[in-house]
Structure 1
Amino acid sequence: MPPYLKIYDGTTNPEDHIIHYVATVKGNDLSKEEVPSVLLKKFGETLTGGALTWYSQLPTRSIATFEEMADKFITAYVGAKKAEARVKDIFAIRQMHGERIRDFLARFNRVIMSLPNVTERMAVAAFQNGLNRNGSRATRKLLSRLMKYPPTTWEEIHNAYCAKVRADEDDINSPTQRLMSLQIEAKKDHRNEGQRDQLGPRSGQERHQPYVRTSAPPPP
């Protein structure tokens, strides 16, 4: 087999491997009659790991054509195709602009719950990948923590959030904090108005005061 032919280990889409394998074989200098025989005889050379074990356990002469081999192969590894799709799904989850980490965690968990058989290590990697690196101070704080202490379990992700971020998000987004912010702004406006009153009328206003006629002074 050509050195550039992809080797299949049973963890990715089996249909993609079949398509690539057939295209590679047909690209060699073979007659049309030779292609089916070569496809069947050389297929085992494209496998490794669990896929090679599966191939070696097939009964001798139990498969007569490459089409039959391809059908059995795809059926055996259809689960790998679904797993590959799950990986793409969870790594597509991204923290939106302005989304709190708490809300992103909840949304991420909902997606994970809808995808069966996602490993914990895969979920941890996908969550870190989905954090917005240009996000809020709390997000950057969590990312820094996770880079310093790389997590391997979902519990470690949660503990890092609780230790470094949750209190900040609670303070920033609580009703009390929002009320205090409004009160501070109101006090600033009030102080600014008081300062303007103390300064009195501006010079331009003084120049435009209405003229008031006064009686002429008595002659000396």
Structure 2
Amino acid sequence: MWKRLTIKPYDGSTDPDEHLNVFKTHMTLYTTDKTLWCKVFPTSLQEGPLGWFTKLPANSVGNFKDLTAKFMTLYTTSRPHHMSSLSLLNVKQEKGESLRAFMDWFSKVCINIRNLMPEIAMHHLVGAIRRGRFTESLIKRPTRNMDELRTRATKFMQIEEHVNYHRTHQAKADKKGKEKEKDRSNRPGPG
């Protein structure tokens, strides 16, 4: 008995390669019969893409390879723009940006760069971080690889977050103290 695929239907707005990879992975759980794959493929489509599929001329698809070629040709513009390692030149930690926020953003940029060598990422990362205790520690004791750099960055993130928490807590306490002092000064004096 056939079970419906549990994948998100393709709407034409995302990477077609990714959709095909998910579709193929799911299909291999059930069958390797590519003729069946062609028959099941439209169930993985929605709206626009499904309309395209239903308008294909009869007998215009001979096999799954033909079908994927037609699909990829139509939706090639939906592929994400992949950046090169030169894109990292524009990535800099902004003034006031936390180390955690910057590291998250840097990681997201790196994911979109195909075949990025860890050494290149590490080189750009060290140059992109604002000057401070973390960069000074990297200069004093360079890291050997990206994992080591991330581990050390995590320690500095924890320090940064601890300091920010206490600054915020102290500022609230100072404000509360000033309000109490103001209340005392506004009290009517004795008789």
TM-score, structure 1 as length reference: 0.43
More contact order relative to length (CA 8 Å, sep ≥ 6): 2
User: What TM-score results when the alignment is normalised by the length of structure 2?
Assistant: 0.48
